[in-house]
Structure 1
Amino acid sequence: MTPHRNIGFVAAAATLLAAAPLSAIFERWTWLVQAAIVVSVVAGAAALSRLGRFPLWGQLLAMLAGLTLGLTWVFPGGTELLAFVPTPATFAHFGDLLQTSLQDMRAYGVKVPDVDSLLFLAVLGIGAVAVVVDVLAVGLRRPALAGLPMLAIYSVPVAVYVDSVPATPFVVGAAGYLWLLVTDNVDRVRRFGRRFTGEGRDVDVWEASPLAAAGRRLAVVGVLVAVVLPLAVPGMTGGLMSNVGAGPGDGTGRPGQGGSTGRIDLFAALSGQLNQSERFDLVKVTTNEPNPFYLRLGVVDDLRPSGFQARVPTGQPVTRDLPDPAERSPRGVEQRTYRATVEVTKNLNMPLLPVYAEPVRTEDLNGNWRYDPNQQVVFSNRDNARGKRYSFDYVRSTFSPGALRAAPAPPSESAVMRQQTATPTIPDVDRLVDRLTRGKETNYDKVRAVYDYFSVENGFTYALSTRNGSSGADITDFLATKVGYCQQYAAAMAWLVRAAGVPARVAVGFTNGSNVDGGTYVLTNQNLHAWTEVYFGGIGWVPFDATPAASIPGSVRSTWAPDTDAPEEIAPAPGSSAAPDAANPSAGPNEPDRLDKDADQGLAVGESGPTQRDAVWPWWLAGALALLALLALPALRRSALRRRRRVRATAPTATAVAVPGQRGVAREIVVGVDAEAARADAHAAWDELLDTLVDFHVPVDGTETPRATAERLTREALVEDAGAATGVRLLGRAEERARYAREPLTEAELQPALRTVRGALAARADRRTRLLAAVLPPSVLMRWRTALAERSARLVTTSGQARLWMTRWSPRRLLAGRPAR
């Protein structure tokens, strides 16, 4: 096998290893088998083209042809020739798969099942990466650049996952990249011919060398550091170090008092037993809607044998136009637009923002926050809700039972049917659903039959703790014991509705509570709640709360989902009513929520206790002042230099002269000039001139004499100002006399000359140059850079000398010269 073909196959294998992070996206390994087939075809086409000595562009065409043949065989459209030769209809089939993949990416959350459109997109991407890696590693002999397309594969799960991607796939991908680098290096070494040891012994091609061993050790250490370091750096993940020093948690997703807040699991308590005695504020919401429904926080819609789990949301930035539900307003659905303002306390630390259903516009939120129109949630991969204050407009939809009965069933091939009706097979549950929905013609009648089943008449009660069953399945235990809280009721109803063939999911958020002041609701951890949402064709998601209303402060019931335990239906507002606290005169607006009402506080995380927001403006003011002081440093330094260099009036010196004939008696005082002072003044004036030239971007040549510099300035920069030309000649002559003459130039007016030259240079400069010369003088910045470089060089020199000194006194070196005994 030639070296090029060897590197080509290693590049193909490295590409497959680099695709390992996609295992965090798919439920099964079908994608890997299909990708291996396509990448093998690409590698084979590349090897055949190199065997035929094709040029690089020919090899590229051969690999693209192999990629097309492989995709045709793995994803046939039914019109291929010989099962792998594509036809125009095949490419149309590929286009349909790509178009469908855009919809499925919005509909599915990780981990996704084996959907043809998403599998095709993944295999196409891996095959394209294989082509690019082969061109870089084999054609251009730049294997290091092959890491860029490999990194593109890794960026997919990084972009999808809110938390960190598992470390094992990263290690596998890094190993493939290192394998490619090592193979290329071995091939380069082989080109030098045969290797020999110092004694002249022939070295086998694959025999390890000390340098290679060191390289392997460095590679292992580098990969381990890349895996461990993000776990230790605060804020990068919720990894190892985030729990150090934390107190014990309560098992509900809320960390202990000694540690930082963790990530919320929206439905971790489906089968748990939650009880929390503390109460603390989480959200304050003000709305102009008279009787609002629940404030939504998240959605739990991935049903597995172990229960419901939350999918990772995807969507668009909230700064863009959000979907308008008025575009799908059928008959019997009333829609009104309201406005709400939400203040989140520091106790709620999570990547989701509480909003009412169907927001249409947001304010005071940046592009880090995104809106998922399918889940109807606002989320972020880079920010959290703690301390946020924002406003939004939303549409409140109320539905009539007649409109829900008339709603058509969604198409069976639609994404919502595939995703939101899948249920594990449990015979007891299926038999119950068949009994409840027997004879029901419409989806709404089936949903109402399931909804009405969760009533006191059928033995269901609300309790903070669940009863243990013996079936081994949480859903069966709850339906048998009929004791639980909102999470059991919401999940059980969603499960039964799905088993009846109607899409359903669980929503998590806040009830309205009982701490109400006008249109302002203060919601605590005891107002967290879960309910069921059912999808109706042409209408959308409709809420149903199966939890007994008498046990939930601020519970809301509606005409399409009334309180099954109430003696009669109460509807204070069209489409909805607040029950039961609105009808209870003892529950005043300021009465605190009862501690024994709702166990849904287990969904909350954060610091317990009352929250008082500290004033932020002093910190902003201090930061602004510090920034201004930092920006003013160069200008202050320049001003100090100018004052220090300012030409002093040459200090006269008094000399006593004795009169002849009268020795020792001074009769006359002769006033003279101090030559050294005049020389220093000339140097200071010249240095100030050079700094002025640098500030106004006038070239300075260090090899010129003062006279040459002055003449150049008069010809180039000061040609239109005779006074400035005279001044610069005076400064040049003073510096020249100070350098070379026995007597310096005295009694020269250097300060006025400097002012004249500076004014002329400022007049010819543009506004930006003048501003920089005043605020950020280039002469000061250049002097600081030079000083920093000199200190760095001295530090490096000192470090080298210290290392050399320590090497001389190394015990190994001292003992090496001793004769052996």
Structure 2
Amino acid sequence: MTNGSDERMAVTAAVAALVAALTLAPLIKGTTWLFAAAIMVLTVMVTGIVARQLARGWWPAVIGLQAVMLFLAIVVLFARGEIADPPGAVRLLADLVQAGLQTTQSQSPPVDADRGIVLLAAGGTGIVALAVDILATSFRQPALAGLPLLAMYCVPAALLDDGLPWYLFFAAAASFLLLLSADAGDRVRAWGRVLASAGQRDARPAGDTGLARGGRRVALAAVAVAVAVPAVVPGLDNQLLGGSGDGDGGNGGTVITRINPILDMRRDLNDPVDTELLAYTTTVSDPEPLRIVTDDEYDGKTWKPSGKKIPRSNNISEGMPQAPGLTSAVQTSDESSSIEIYRLRETYLPLPYPARSVTGLDGEWLYDPETLNVIGNKVDTTQVQYTVDFLNVTPTADQLAGATTPPDDIVEKYTQLPDDMPAVIEETARREAGNGNNYEKAVRLQEFFRTGGGFVYNTQAPESEGGDGSAQAIVDFLRQKEGYCVHYASTMAVMARQLGIPARVAVGFLPGTLQAENTRIISSRDAHAWPELYFNNVGWVRFEPTPRSGQAAPDWTLPDTGNDSSSPDDETSTTTAPDTSEDGASSTAEAEATQEQEQAAGAQSSGGLSVPWQPVLVLLVVLLGLALPRLAAGIAARHRWRQATTPPGLAAAAWDDLRLGLSDLGVRWAASWTPRAVRQRLNDDYELTPEQAEALDRLVEELEDAFYAPPTTEPGRGAAERRQDVALVVGAVAVQKSSRTRWQAKLWPASGITALTGLGAWITSRVRRRGAEGDDVPDTAATPGDEPGPADRSGRSGQSGRPGQSGRPGRRDKAGSGRS
């Protein structure tokens, strides 16, 4: 295939990848990700075009340069603040990828276009574009290039409950057919011109034949059938990965995809924009935190809900079960809350604990009887309103202190820990908890974190390997004494389990900000985690080890003995954590953190991506400037050959290709030279092999026959054969030139400059002609990229000058050879 064919396939591959990327639109809000994806695709395309000229088609070098430029484009867009520190840039990108993956776990489509999501979408599109370009352009396997396009299509098809809209399927299919069509056209042209039927006057190019029209019809029909069949065949739907979501296929249970909000806590607390998530009214004057989910399993890396099936019979429409362990001996009151969710999208339903009934919801919501987690089956919390009746439980310190030993099954399940937990955690727990009953130990642990241990609340605490809930994070937290609610809750729950006290971690929101008419607003910075410990005859009880200003420890965790632990925790917390504020960090620390994030990540107020247009545009302009001469030369060549429909036109186009290809290598000849004179000079000045000499002879003879021999009805050779002869002769001369000359011919060909100059002259002449009112002078400017020539036998203008015509004469040596 020719260089022009490579360029055409590169552009087609880029268009196919970008069109296929449109299938991601239902998954992500806004269009910022699409602009970033377009930058990645353009980077891959332009780099490939330039690299193939520089590396003479050597695919390892081309692919390597494309991969490097794609990575640099990703760094410029997403980690430009760390460009001077490559390892830091890689770490930042890894963090963004992790944040994006967490967003996919915690939100349902369409997700917010935060920087992590935009990186996943744009970077993934760039990788797909690179794979498509490699397969379709470098290896000439467009059918295989459909695999990465299919992989991109599978993502939204699998994630969307109702599958992709039909028009996006058409777009994805069209991108693949576009690749096949471009490659098929090149393969047909390689065989020469397609002969016309008996009823046709002239042969037509391959793109205008009945064969091509038939292919387009077959492709359109195939796509239409692929869309229509699933709609009419029973048992099929429009999802690529179908299924009812029933897990085992029966009616007895369902496995629901679970998320874990604890993973997003750091991001929510550090979000520069404090987004309002929900509003609620309640009959309780001093409400407890609003719970999203209870994490009752710990694997040494994080806390998460137990992965068990929930029977579909556990529907909240039938009411909620009694809270585990709660007895009538504990004081309770019947309360209610009305909740309206704005922008929170969770599979779990935010509820006060313990809920008794929930009304006003559509869809199927199921409860876990052990944790009272309420989980949506193919529904989420997007813009819902509901009312919940619940118990306001107020145990006393005496009841907790006098609790008997919990049941064995509770102890066994809720004290489980990995065998490889670091010993320092248990040692610290036993030292700080001391002796006594479970309640006394729990109170001392809470006091250790809130007042006596010197811990400071800080959402900017360094991240540990394995995540904020990992065993290593607990060790780092005990050593550095700095962290946020996940660190406090996770550490206290793990320590309680090591002391034999059943424990788990709850994730949700603080009560929020009180507004008018008893309405409270909960925002993203109200996200919170706390430990819950089990006491017999009372059930699960909230403790508050986090020294967060505005959130006092519950009254029942303050014993009536009058010791230090009974003093107000707010004041004590303020002394141990002077940098905390209402939203969990000091105003100074928060301002510094926000400034750091804006400088390093360029985050917009929406939390999205701020595209650095200036460096991106400079990069694209440089790449385009490098590729422009070669692109112009290729476009002019294709224009010449497209206009060459007769033997004289084909001969002239081949001669022009030879002249311009040699001019790129510095070879010139005078306009007065005949084709035979040119052949003689080339044979004299350069060592041509017999095959190369025969190719030159054919070009000369065909040119002379076309213009001087009597007309003939023989079709002669096609364009492909003539272009191969030109490539043989130009290649023979190129190997005898210096490497500098060869590089210049590829990177900055003189024929490309000539084509651009001709285009400029043509545009100028058009402007002058239209601007001259009443001027009746005909336009004699040449077609862009071509030179005027004599009429051929069919009466059409030829694509070349007369045999021997040159764009510009050169210096003569060796009896006027004109070699430069």
- TM-score band w.r.t. shorter chain: 0.3 to 0.5
Higher RCO (CA-CA < 8 Å; seq separation 6+): 2
Higher strand share: 1
Question: What is the TM-score when the length of structure 1 is the normalising length?
Answer: 0.37
